[in-house]
């Protein structure tokens, strides 16, 4: 340096370089000579300085370019911290049911059935047929394909008692999976900051969707027979809530099934409080010992908003679900869906409808029932033998999960980690509680691959519970294990 | 209903049912098959639709009957009024681009290309192939299929100048259509009540998604060359906004294409204000006279959040899009997507990837370019001849739309209604303005069916503008026409 003109050119070009994209061509020496009124020697000197600083590079015969500095340093995203601000609660990380695992692990955590439980042949041929129809190449109406809407309506209508006006096809809105429905329902029917009654424990996806919609959760304890009616009444009264999210049939995770009377009573409470009952009939096709009787079938005043999904019974790749809603609620939900995703792929709708209207679908459901029964019973039996300390309050009459209470003082997360270290993937029950867990629980899903390894898995789970109980003499008190 | 014969039977029986007494027996399927000359499958389908509509009910072993009418009273949903409260603004009704229309209308309103513009054969065979893979029967990872993520990343990397670190596959999140991306981005990156800069006019779907996410829109006027840099700088400074939603390439509706310099300058502004640029490259595959140069390609500090969709270029039924985002922003968006919809159907992802990795895809894009050019030019020419008062400020170099300014004082909604009455469906430009429209506009989409009817459509549009101008001597003043 040491030369004012050189410095001037170096400073000028440095400023220019900070805004120029890497790789940009630097003005020629001739241009710079003119621009800065400097001699060619001075300009060359400035260029040498800049090259020495690693800011530019010259390609002989081509020109001089801003150096690709950016690759040298790791990207700096720190500026995003201020732009993003603090995250909304509960929206960080993925729940365990969504995790992918090593192929040789025993997966008891996931919520999606193994292919042995799916109507694979039906699904593949339905997709191939749909590929040849207009559905492969056109847009679906926002509310869904009329035939598929009609199918969902007819399913519910089939369960309607005499004297109740069943829903029409127009009352059905097709969704790409029930999760999308939950977000929309909570946004459309409850709204930010407003109270939503919710069973505890309940489906983590509903807790997540509620967090995203920024509604205020009001947990209502729910056991093997569903919630206590008094609790529900009190929650409605104290909070003025206008909606209650429920899983009256083979609830996830507990497996609870409400009695017909409880369903009727809760519907009556909802009526009295001018409230919606959001009934998530997620396991409608996953019955084992009992048949589902949707509360929605008994309502024609628009109190029950009914969600049913085909994702778990048809194929996780045919993400198709439906929400049935009547009155202005239907329009409010449709507007939210349109803003959120416009419409659902007609290909998925056509293929799903094809599957469920084949006579082989009924056959499939019957064999699925037996497969699920065998898997459930094997897992229950294995746990009884190898993990006696994992307490099963209820043998579920349908659904895909066992909900097990661990001895007090045991850290469920610790058990999950220890089992994972030994190749058994299970889910920490904490994720199913909208607030603090009432006790340590784990959830085991019996729809994954390799049911013949259930005894092995149960043995490992049993050993880890045993070890945790022995390691921690505080077991039995309220103190956490680690 | 997707099938003419089914429709015909449904309509016929509906008429019959309106006059039949409740409880009357419906003709047997055999009789209907004969009467309508339709197949048993078609008749059964029609019966399902009618059952779904609650109009008939079947008693096994007995027959099918007109359903004992809908109880005496009409359903009373009035209680929902209090439960739902006032709706969030802008979320009522469907925008005109989503409307379905009579099959003989000239449809210049929709945003989804006619099948002649789609790689139909490629799409059908890709779906058929995907039906045979695991993608038909398994769950996709939440972020998307790794191969498809890699494809989107490579597309952007191909446009990156030397020295810029291109995005990796991990930076790409797969979405079911770009609309879902917009909602998520506005929720995750902006948040309720926070300011979001947005071009005016701009894509109505973005305005809708912003309303749903409850962000506060800050409109920035944007003309044929994009926004004025001073305006953008002022908006950032005055509002402290941390995000700007832009369509720098063949913007919808104006067709505007930003200069490279404007892209660079706006990116620099975003950097200076620690803000995100949400770049919606919706028409990347719909170029005519110019090639897209995404701003995102020049950024590796995570300032540009880049959305690209395949819905309009591959098939409306393969709803697949991607958002590329780096740094913590990526995680924030992923968490929102997981809460909103868990994952995108792997079937759609596999089929879309299959299409865009065939060599025939490149051939298709080349022929698409020529088809779009011919359609655009024909519509421009027709309007010039028959509707000289509809002012086209810019002949778009890509995209699917013409944006036309009507003479001051003309009511765009009135023109839209009048044209619809004459079988020409066009869109009122008002829907593309985040606030009041700066002037009456209409948007004409040249990707619908029957381009040979453009002269006829232009004549009708021209006549209606003429009539509106003559009817209202106040034309030219600021007074609305009706």
Rounded to the nearest 5°, which phi and psi values hold at A423? 85, 15
Residue A16 pLDDT grade (very low, low, confident, very high; cuts 50, 70, 90): confident
Tell me which chain B residues have a C-beta less than 8 angstroms from the C-beta of A77: 301-302, 326-329
Q: How far, in whole angstroms, is CA B336 from its chain's centroid?
A: 21
Does the structure show a pLDDT above 90 at B117?
yes
Residue A379 to chain B, least CA–CA distance (Å): 23
Question: How far apart are the C-alpha atoms of B302 and B333, rounded to whole Å?
Answer: 13
- Among chain B residues, the shortest Cα distance to A140 is held by B317
Rounded to the nearest 5°, which phi and psi values hold at A56? -135, 165
The CATH number, out of the four listed (3.10.450.230, 1.10.260.40, 3.30.1490.100, 3.40.640.10), of the domain defined by the range B119-360: 3.40.640.10
B184 closest CA partner among B72, B14, B387, B333:
B333
Alpha-carbon distances of A209 from A173, A180, A183, A256, A360, rounded to whole Å: 18, 8, 5, 22, 35
pLDDT for the residue B462: 97
- Vertex A447, ends A445 and A448: CA angle to 5°? 90
Question: How far apart are the C-alpha atoms of A109 and B161, rounded to whole Å?
Answer: 44
Cα radius of gyration rounded to whole Å, chain A? 30
Cβ of B100 under 8 Å from any chain A Cβ?
A: yes
Question: How far apart are the C-alpha atoms of B256 and B220, rounded to whole Å?
Answer: 14
Question: How far apart are the C-alpha atoms of A168 and A153, rounded to whole Å?
Answer: 6
- Contacts of residue B463, defined as CB under 8 A and 6 or more positions apart, other chains included, come to B386
pLDDT tens-digit profile of B161-171? Answer: 878 888 999 99
Residue B430 pLDDT grade (very low, low, confident, very high; cuts 50, 70, 90): very high
pLDDT tens-digit profile of A105-150? Answer: 999 998 789 999 999 999 999 999 999 999 999 999 999 999 999 9
Tell me which chain B residues have a C-beta less than 8 angstroms from the C-beta of A168: 52-54
Average pLDDT (A35-55) is: 83
pLDDT tens-digit profile of A55-81? Answer: 788 887 788 888 765 444 567 888 888
Residue B389 to chain A, least CA–CA distance (Å): 33
Proportion of chain A above pLDDT 90, given as a percent:
67
DSSP helix/strand/coil, B147 = helix
Cβ of B133 under 8 Å from any chain A Cβ?
A: no
Question: How far apart are the C-alpha atoms of B418 and B423, rounded to whole Å?
Answer: 9
Cβ of B135 under 8 Å from any chain A Cβ?
A: yes
Interchain contact, B136 vs A127, CB within 8 Å: yes
Tell me which chain B residues have a C-beta less than 8 angstroms from the C-beta of A275: 83
Q: B392 - beta bridge partners?
A: B404
pLDDT for the residue A72: 43
Does the structure show a pLDDT above 90 at B86?
no
Question: How far apart are the C-alpha atoms of A81 and B28, rounded to whole Å?
Answer: 68
Question: How far apart are the C-alpha atoms of B224 and B267, rounded to whole Å?
Answer: 19
Question: How far apart are the C-alpha atoms of B148 and B352, rounded to whole Å?
Answer: 8
Residue A212 pLDDT grade (very low, low, confident, very high; cuts 50, 70, 90): confident
Q: What is the mean pLDDT of chain B?
A: 90
Could you tell me the two tokens for A167? Answer: 């829903």
Q: Which of A3-12, A332-341, B206-215, B347-356 is predicted with the least confidence, judged by mean pLDDT?
A: A3-12
pLDDT tens-digit profile of A86-106? Answer: 776 655 555 666 666 777 899
Residue B473 pLDDT grade (very low, low, confident, very high; cuts 50, 70, 90): low
Whether this model's pTM surpasses 0.90: no
Q: Where along chain A do the CATH 3.40.640.10 domains lie?
A: 119-360
Which residues, numbered 28 to 67 in chain A, qualify as contacts with chain B under a Cβ-Cβ cut-off of 8 Å? 65-67
Q: What does CATH list as the number for A94-115+361-471?
A: 3.90.1150.10
Interchain contact, B335 vs A211, CB within 8 Å: no
Q: What does CATH list as the number for A4-66?
A: 1.10.10.10
Question: How far apart are the C-alpha atoms of A363 and A366, rounded to whole Å?
Answer: 5
pLDDT for the residue A70: 47
Q: How many CA atoms are closer than 13 Å to the CA of A14, on its beta-carbon side? A: 14
Of A70, A135, A165, the CB nearest to B300: A70
Size of interface A-B (CB pairs under 8 A): 332
Q: What is the mean pLDDT of chain A?
A: 90
Q: Where along chain B do the CATH 3.90.1150.10 domains lie?
A: 94-115+361-471
Residue B386 to chain A, least CA–CA distance (Å): 31
Q: Which of A13-27, A357-371, B107-121, B161-175 is predicted with the least confidence, judged by mean pLDDT?
A: A13-27
Tell me which chain B residues have a C-beta less than 8 angstroms from the C-beta of A120: 137
DSSP helix/strand/coil, B309 = strand
């Amino acid at each position: 340096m040491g030369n004012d003109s050189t410095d001037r050119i170096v400073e000028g070009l440095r400023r220019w370089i900070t805004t120029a994209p890497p790789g940009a061509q630097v003005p020629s020496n001739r241009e710079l000579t003119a621009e800065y009124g400097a001699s060619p020697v001075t300009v060359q000197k400035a260029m040498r300085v800049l090259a020495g600083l690693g800011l530019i590079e010259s390609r002989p015969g081509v020109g001089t370019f801003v150096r690709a500095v950016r690759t040298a340093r790791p990207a700096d995203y720190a500026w995003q911290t201020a732009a993003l601000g603090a995250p909304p609660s509960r929206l960080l990380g993925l729940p365990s049911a969504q995790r992918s695992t090593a192929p040789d692990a025993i997966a008891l955590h996931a919520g999606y059935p193994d292919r042995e439980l799916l109507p694979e042949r039906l699904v593949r041929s339905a997709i191939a047929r749909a590929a040849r129809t207009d559905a492969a190449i056109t847009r679906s109406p926002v509310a869904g394909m009329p035939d598929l809407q009609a199918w969902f309506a007819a399913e519910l209508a089939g369960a309607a008692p005499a004297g109740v006006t069943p829903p029409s096809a127009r009352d059905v809105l097709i969704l790409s999976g029930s999760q999308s429905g939950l977000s929309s329902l909570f946004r459309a029917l409850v709204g930010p900051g407003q109270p939503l009654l919710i069973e505890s424990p309940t489906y983590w996806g509903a807790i997540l969707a509620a967090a995203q919609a920024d509604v205020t959760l009001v947990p209502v304890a729910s056991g093997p027979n569903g919630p206590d009616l008094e609790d529900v009444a009190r929650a409605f009264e104290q909070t003025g809530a206008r909606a209650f999210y429920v899983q009256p049939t083979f609830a996830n995770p507990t497996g609870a099934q409400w009695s017909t009377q409880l369903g009727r009573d809760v519907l009556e409470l909802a009526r009295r409080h001018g409230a919606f009952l959001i009934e998530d009939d997620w396991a409608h096709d996953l019955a084992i010992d009992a048949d589902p009787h949707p509360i929605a079938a008994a309502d024609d005043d628009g109190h029950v908003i009914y969600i049913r999904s085909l994702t778990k019974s048809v194929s996780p790749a045919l993400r198709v679900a439906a929400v049935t809603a009547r009155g202005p609620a239907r329009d409010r939900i449709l507007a939210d869906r349109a803003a959120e995703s416009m419409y659902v792929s007609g290909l998925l709708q056509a293929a799903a409808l094809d599957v469920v209207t084949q006579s082989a679908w009924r056959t499939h459901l019957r064999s699925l029932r037996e497969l699920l029964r065998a898997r459930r019973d094997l897992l229950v039996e294995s746990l009884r033998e190898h993990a006696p300390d994992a307490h099963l309050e209820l043998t579920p009459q349908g659904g895909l999960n066992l909900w097990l209470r661990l001895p007090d003082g045991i850290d469920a997360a610790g058990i999950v980690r220890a089992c994972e270290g030994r190749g058994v993937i299970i889910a920490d029950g904490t994720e199913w509680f909208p607030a603090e867990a009432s006790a340590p629980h784990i959830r085991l899903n019996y729809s994954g691959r390799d049911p013949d390894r259930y005894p092995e898995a149960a043995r490992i789970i049993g050993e880890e519970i045993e070890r945790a109980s022995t390691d921690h003499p505080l077991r039995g008190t309220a103190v956490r294990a680690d």
